[in-house]
Amino acid sequence: MLFALLPFQARSQDLESIRDQKPFAVSGYLDLRTIGYSAKGIDPRRSPFTYILSGSPVFSFYGLTIPVSFTYSEQDRAFRQPFNQFGLSPTYKWITLHGGYRNLSFSPYTLAGHTMLGGGFELRPGKFRLAFITGRLNRATAIDTTTGVVQPYSFSRYGTAVKIGYGTEKSFVNLSVLSAKDSEKNFKGAADSSALRPAANTVIGGDLKVTLVGDLFLFADGGLSIYTRDNTSTIGIDSSVKILETLQKIMPLNATSNYALAYSGGLGYKSKHFGIHAAYKYVDPDFISMGAYFFQNDLRNITLSPSFNALKGRLRFNGSIGVQDDNQRKLKQASTRRIISMANLTWDFTDKLGIDANYSNFSTNSEPTVAMIENRYLLAQTNSNLSVNPRLILAGQKTTQVILLSFNQSNLKDLNQDTQSANDIRSSVAFFNYNLTLNQLGLSLTTGLNYTVNKLASGDITNQGISLGASKAFLKHKLMVSTVNSWVATELEAGKGNILNLGGNITYMPLKGHRIGLRVSSLNNSTSREGIDEPVKFSELTGELGYTFSF
């Protein structure tokens, strides 16, 4: 009865070790909390009193887990299963069986992580591998007749995927096929659903990796998708499309059928201290696979990605630079080119002092193609980001000190002469954070300074503030008392503002698995604007008492 009422998703189970698993186990937590709230100067933004009972028990049967969650309050009553799907994948040596709801990936273009309700198997004897799964990809949806709300409706979709491969991690080749189509059986859509037609899709994909010499390797993958938008059409295919005329001999096609290609490949080198990848990727417009949830199509990428480490691993770098183009078949009114680059650098000067730096740059240009556009550049902009984060950690027997500095600058530069003055944005953020821990006393003190400025066409926005915090452990760390406070001053063209946040927390753990918490926070906001004599003020006070039982 429990299995019938609580469908679940289970991970792959090794039958050889099932006798070592517990027959039954329960873990998780139960949480009860009450929240009080009051506001002055504004309309309340929440209820004055709230109670919430929640839990997340996990039931286990011989290693198979059933996670369940529930929430009960005066505003929300819900019973949820975060994995509300039943699935099982028992494994014995090189044989794995799949049943129920499963998420498998055969290739990026055929079956790529799409949830399927069905059954299948995987065989991995030695270097050889064979996989098969068949079942339902999507369940039909229709208009909700009980509420009268019109929901997007669709057919049930069924599919079969097969994969065959040979090789090891260093060198391998795989071939996979997906065949899927919509079913009109038991469809309960709108009375006029002529715009929705059952579709069919066949995708052939493959991937390989070949180690050439030493650490030099070749990698590639690709896919051919044949998509029929109306599987019931009786109009014949366009005979001028030779590939469709050839494929019609082995699969049913019609005038709504089309094909699309996607492929990528390149060379790579990876050693202990240095690596580099050169890659090329192409995806046709309207490349669709029913075995994948999302595809970024109509693009061509060329990228170069180096990486290295030096000074006995203290200096580490990885980055990439590339070009991305769309409008590969010249069907859009404009073509877009993006220059993409990024770099990450980490340098540990000593065990105590280090720095992290990151840089990225994205440039985009779009030019007219099939139609004359008034401006030559429809879109021309660069988006760059630079962050530098030095750090100092002084760990001793009595004290531990952590000093963090951070600077981040982002620029959005519009290169179009007609719009650049209105769209340029420059943002700079800097902060300093210092933490001191007295190890023997269990006392931690924190302070921080922050400064932010955003330069816009409409004017500058400046924020500056300070934060102070402290925490102290008592009763052999069973009782923890902490406070977090901050003040932020904002300056705009039209006025100024101040925000003061004060907060305190008490956590007590009398027994193992039991925790009692009390939290109180206060917010005070004051805003002054030009033309207004008196500043606008409001305040909010929130208190929360909670109890958590972990088992």
Please write the tens of the pLDDT for every residue from 175-217: 999 999 998 876 665 544 556 789 999 999 999 999 998 899 9
Q: What is the pLDDT of residue 11?
A: 47
Judge whether 208 lies within some domain: yes
> For residue 237, what is the DSSP state?
P
Asked if residue 277 and residue 225 are part of one domain, the reply reads yes
> For residue 423, what is the DSSP state?
H
Judge whether 350 lies within some domain: yes
Asked if residue 360 and residue 292 are part of one domain, the reply reads no
Is there a contact between 179 and 291 (Cβ–Cβ < 8 Å)?
Answer: no
Q: What is the pLDDT of residue 367?
A: 52
Judge whether 472 lies within some domain: no
Asked if residue 291 and residue 419 are part of one domain, the reply reads no
Q: What is the pLDDT of residue 62?
A: 72
Domain that holds residue 430: 328-457
Judge whether 332 lies within some domain: yes
Judge whether 142 lies within some domain: yes
Asked if residue 384 and residue 251 are part of one domain, the reply reads no
Compute the C-alpha angle 74/77/78, nearest 5°. Answer: 160
Last residue within a domain, chosen from 457, 491, 518: 457
Q: What is the arithmetic mean of pLDDT over 61-86?
A: 66
Is there a contact between 410 and 452 (Cβ–Cβ < 8 Å)?
Answer: no
Q: Is the pLDDT of residue 68 over 80?
A: no
Instruction: Say how many domains are in the chain.
Output: 2
Is there a contact between 79 and 57 (Cβ–Cβ < 8 Å)?
Answer: no
Mean pLDDT of the chain: 85
> Tokens standing for 91?
């494994």
Lowest-pLDDT range of 115-124, 326-335, 359-368, 378-387: 359-368
Q: How many other C-beta atoms are found inside a 10 Å radius of the C-beta of residue 114? A: 22
Q: Which residue has the tokens 């933004």?
A: 45
Judge whether 125 lies within some domain: yes
Residue 364's pLDDT band (boundaries 50, 70, 90)?
Answer: low
Report d(CA 408, CA 415) in Å as an integer: 22
Q: What is the arithmetic mean of pLDDT over 366-387?
A: 58
pTM: 0.71
Q: What is the pLDDT of residue 535?
A: 82
Q: What percent of the chain has pLDDT over 90?
A: 57
Q: What percent of the chain has pLDDT over 70?
A: 84
Q: Is the pLDDT of residue 375 over 80?
A: no
